[in-house]
Each structure stands twice: as structure tokens, then as C-alpha cells.
Amino acid sequence: MKKALFALVLILALSAAVLLAPRAGTPAAPVSGPAVLLVNAAHPLPEDFTPGELVNLYEQKRHFLLASSGIQLERETFEAANRMFLQAENEDMNGFIVTSGYRSRERQAELYAQAEGNTAQLPGCSEHETGLAFDVTARYDHGTFEDTPQFTWLSAHCWEYGFILRYPKGKEAVTGIDYEPWHYRYVGEAAARIIREQGWTLEEYCAQAAQGI
Ligand SMILES: [Zn+2]
């Protein structure tokens, strides 16, 4: 029964992804669509990629804090994040601070040039260029977001709102990125639920989805 349900959810998610996928300039991802877009070193965004409608978070009614006034996210991602942080607030879990959202390719190139060691993605290869990902910390985080109750809450609930912890511990070989407890990626509720249930990364989800087509 559970397997059948999973198959149904996957089929529905894939149908939606196929229907919604852009026909031209599609990035080299096995499953594409507004939310389920694989971006990594092997799947860079096309040069002419443009994100969906971006909103400046500072100008929105928000249930979270901001590290600066210029942070933007794609609208659906912001709305899902806001619902998530409202629920956190309702459970007395406050003090989330969004520190980073959308970055232009030019901004990513600057960061890459400034970064020491292996800490920044090549321009075109950062999820931040999609507007679908944000970095977060907590007000009383002393450099270890992972040790905060906010992190525990987010880990338990983010998938309910369509988000995944994009670079989990122990999956470094799959994602190619060191564990990042602060980086969350919007993929939509259906994909987030499957990724959570299966213990997959987005890379694994997209590989499975491609096989299933
Ligand atoms: Zn990030």
C-alpha cells in the first residue's frame, strides 16, 4: 500500500514537472520544473537562466528576521518559507534569521573569486542563483546553527513546507558539498516528502525520477 502510494505521488510529481518544464533552454537536469531543478557542478544553469519572480524580503510581512535589507527569494519559495516560520512562531520557536537568498551569476562570480579553498560554487552552479534556496541562522547561534533548537525544529518540519536540507551530513560524496546545516532548498511538498521518506538527496531523487520515466 505504501509503495503504491509512493508510486502515485512520484507519478503525479513527475507529471507536474513534465507539464511545467520549460521547453527551451532547459537545464541539464533529469527532472526539471520550477521547483525541482537540479543545480550542481555537473548541472550548471544555462548562461541565460532567469529566476522566477523575485521578492525583496525586507518589503514583505514576514515571520522571520533578516540579516540585511537586500535579500530576495523567488515568490513561491518566500511564501512557503513564511508559512513555515509562522508555524514555528506558533510553536514558540522564534529567532530565525535568513542570511542569504537569491544571488545573481555576477554576485556568485565575485564570491567565488573571493572565497578561500573550496567554499564557494562556480558561477552557474550555485542554487542561490535560482532564488529557490536560502541560508538561515538563529538569533543566539554562536557559530553553530546545528546546535540550536531552531535547527532541530527546521530539520523536523521543513519538508512539510516543501523544503529540504540540501547538503546533509554523510551525503558529501553524492552532493559534492560539505554538510551545510544552514542551507535549505525549496523543491515543493511532493518532492520534499519523497526525499525525506527515502533519505535521498536531490541528486538521488532526480536520478530515481529519471529512471522511472
Ligand atoms: Zn546557501
Q: Which three cell numbers stand for residue 207?
A: 536520478
Environment of ion ligand 1 (residues, CB < 5 A): 135, 183
Q: Look at 60 and 119; give whichever has higher pLDDT.
A: 60
How many C-beta neighbours within 10 Å does residue 36 have?
28
- Give the predicted TM-score (pTM) of the model: 0.82
Annotated domain spans of the chain: 47-212
pLDDT for 56-111, tens place per residue? Answer: 999 999 999 999 999 999 999 999 999 999 999 999 999 999 999 999 999 999 99
Q: Look at 133 and 25; give whichever has higher pLDDT.
A: 133
Calculate mean pLDDT across residues 131-141: 93
How far apart, in whole angstroms, are the C-alpha atoms of residue 88 and residue 64? 9
How far apart, in whole angstroms, are the C-alpha atoms of residue 10 and residue 213? 10
- CA proximity to 136, closest of 203, 63, 75: 63
Using the mean position of ligand 1's atoms as its centre, give its distance from the Cα of residue 184 in Å: 7
Percentage of the chain beyond pLDDT 70 is 83
H-only helix segments in the chain: 2-20, 75-90, 105-114, 149-157, 172-175, 189-198, 202-212
Q: Look at 22 and 155; give whichever has higher pLDDT.
A: 155
pLDDT at 22: 42
How far apart, in whole angstroms, are the C-alpha atoms of residue 1 and residue 190? 17
Using the mean position of ligand 1's atoms as its centre, give its distance from the Cα of residue 121 in Å: 10
CATH class of 47-212: alpha beta
pLDDT at 5: 53
pLDDT at 202: 97
Using the mean position of ligand 1's atoms as its centre, give its distance from the Cα of residue 136 in Å: 8
Q: Look at 10 and 46; give whichever has higher pLDDT.
A: 46
Is the pLDDT confidence value at 19 over 50? Answer: no
Q: Which three cell numbers stand for residue 56?
A: 525583496
H-only helix segments in 103-188: 105-114, 149-157, 172-175
pLDDT at 191: 94
pLDDT at 204: 96
Q: Look at 195 and 29; give whichever has higher pLDDT.
A: 195
How many C-beta neighbours within 10 Å does residue 81 have?
26
Using the mean position of ligand 1's atoms as its centre, give its distance from the Cα of residue 125 in Å: 12
pLDDT band at 116 (very low <50, low <70, confident <90, very high): confident
Calculate mean pLDDT across residues 37-44: 95
Cβ contact 45:132 at 8 Å: no
Is the pLDDT confidence value at 119 over 60? Answer: yes
Q: Annotated active-site positions, please?
A: 180
Using the mean position of ligand 1's atoms as its centre, give its distance from the Cα of residue 7 in Å: 31
